[in-house]
Amino acid sequence: MIPDDLRSLFWDVNPSTFDAAAYPDYTISRVLEFGDQNAIIWLKRTFTETQIVETLRNERRLSRKSANFWALIYRVPPGEIAALRTVG
């Protein structure tokens, strides 16, 4: 279940019934992209660092700005971040 103060991050699902653990990539990417400090605290309590880093590495829907920021925070080389790789 999504806490009340984070419901605005999940505008396209029913937050009353949404199971964040069942959809970790979706949940983690939403918080990394749109979350504030409270959302990040919840994220770190809900998911492991390994789950967060794996989502960061694989999620193409993150903006380049967010992907760069979180790559620095988690010390992941930019070349390992899907959202930062160029297609072509």
Question: pLDDT of 37-64, one tens digit each?
Answer: 999 999 999 999 999 999 999 999 999 9
| 7, 39 contact by CB (below 8 A) | no
Residue 88 has pLDDT above 60, yes or no: no
The mean predicted confidence, pLDDT, of the chain is 94
Find the helix packing angle between 49-58 and 64-73, rounded to 10°.
140
20-30 average pLDDT score:
96
Residue 34 backbone zone (phi > 0: left; psi -120 to 50: alpha; other: beta):
alpha
> In the predicted model, is pLDDT for residue 85 greater than 90?
no
Structure-block tokens of residue 60: 């193409």
Mean pLDDT, residues 9-33: 93
Q: What is the pLDDT of residue 80?
A: 95
